[in-house]
Amino acid sequence: MKRLLLFGVAVAAVVLLLATFGSGYTGTDQQAVSAVQERAPEYDPWASPAWAPGATTEAALFALQGGVGAAVLGYYLDRLRTSDAPDA
Amino acid sequence: MEGFLPPFWAILWTIVALPFVAYGARRTLSTVRMSARTKALVAVAAAFVFVLSALKLPSVAGSSSHPTGTGVMVVLFGPAITAFVSVIVLLYQTVLLAHGGLTTLGANVTSMGIVGPFVGWAAYRLVRSQLTIQQATFVAAAVTDWATYLTTSLQLGLAFPAGSDVGGVATATLDFAAIFAVTQIPIGVLEGLLAAAMMGYLHRIETVSERRLGVPS
């Protein structure tokens, strides 16, 4: 349990580190939006996100996603490694 | 990208994705119920998608993007279950992170959950007999990633063509593909390496035999 928690925190830290290191980089989604605007300047987006997190919240939520994912990954890998059940 | 796909295309891609997702959901449920072992494998592959798609990777030319993370799922379970898992991941990123969008969900599920995985899975089946499990997984994951972003390019090219004929769509698609390619080619390679390492580990702990890994269920 403690190992899983540590693994989750470690992966969350990697996600945060990458987000910080990559903050100067432009996301390809943003590049695609720019390309659309260049190609069709008169296009009016007909919807917008109801809510968008700030940069810090966004990084934290991505870290949460990575951390929880890693803990679940570790948990089920443990189950697979310790299980003697025949191949299904 | 919320709102950046015209209503016609937003609706069309949603209709395209729906049957695959519904079939994938049924397949996911039956696979999870099959045994504790297949359930654990589904969980591992789905968690792998979650972890990798959380990574925002800086790439060449000052741009960044996310891996799709679907390679392991494609190799273990094929495209159908991948479609269902993609919906969950994309919904999380749309609702909580304002990444993607509800109006582009259908298009994103079609590229990340259906077309990309299907092409990657076909590539896997093609090379599996000649390569080791790790090598074949590398091919599957990298091809899945690239096919996903090529599909996105085509979707954008169709919505915003450079002219009113097929040539206009092709030109626009290539323009969008050029934007993604610079960033996504290295990320696809990295994603292939990570997926191969994951499959190598699963193989080492003898979760699945060499023989079984070639069977998509």
Indicate which of B35, B51, B103 best probes the interface with A, i.e. most A CBs within 10 Å of its own CB. B51
DSSP per-residue codes, B75-91: HHH-HHHHHHHHHHHHH
C-beta of residue A41 within 8 angstroms of C-beta of residue B79? no
In a structure prediction context, what are the per-residue pLDDT tens digits for chain B, which is 217 residues long?
788 999 999 999 999 999 999 999 999 999 999 998 899 999 999 999 999 999 989 888 789 999 999 999 999 999 999 999 999 999 999 988 888 889 999 999 999 999 999 999 999 999 999 999 999 999 999 999 999 999 999 999 999 999 889 999 999 999 999 999 989 999 999 999 999 999 999 988 865 544 455 554 4
φ and ψ of B159, to 5 deg:
-80, -30
In a structure prediction context, what are the per-residue pLDDT tens digits for chain A, which is 88 residues long?
789 999 999 999 999 999 888 778 888 988 999 999 988 998 988 888 877 888 889 899 999 999 999 999 999 998 888 865 544 4
Indicate which of B56, B99, B204 best probes the interface with A, i.e. most A CBs within 10 Å of its own CB. B56
Per-residue confidence (pLDDT) for residue A84, from 0 to 100: 56
C-beta of residue A80 within 8 angstroms of C-beta of residue B47? no
Distance from A34 to chain B by nearest Cα, in Å?
Answer: 10
Per-residue confidence (pLDDT) for residue B193, from 0 to 100: 98
Which single residue is written with the structure tokens 């050029």?
B178
Phi and psi based region of residue B69 (left: phi greater than 0; alpha: psi -120 to 50; beta: remaining): left
Beta bridge pairs of residue A27 = B64
**Strand A26-27 relative to strand B63-65, pairing:** parallel
C-beta of residue B97 within 8 angstroms of C-beta of residue A62? yes
C-beta of residue B50 within 8 angstroms of C-beta of residue B89? yes
Angle at alpha carbon of residue A33, lines to A29 and A38, rounded to 5°? 145
A-proximal residues of B, 2-21, CB under 8 Å? 2-4, 6-7
Identify which of A43, A81, A88 has the shortest CB distance to residue B38. A88
| Of residues B206, B189, B194, the one with CA closest to residue B41 | B206
Letter string b/e over residues B134-164, b meaning 16 or more CB atoms within 10 A of that residue's CB: bebbbbbbbbbbbbbbbbbbbbbbbbbbbee
Per-residue confidence (pLDDT) for residue B208, from 0 to 100: 53
Query: What residues does each domain of chain B span?
Result: 7-213
CATH match of B7-213 with 1.10.1760.20: yes
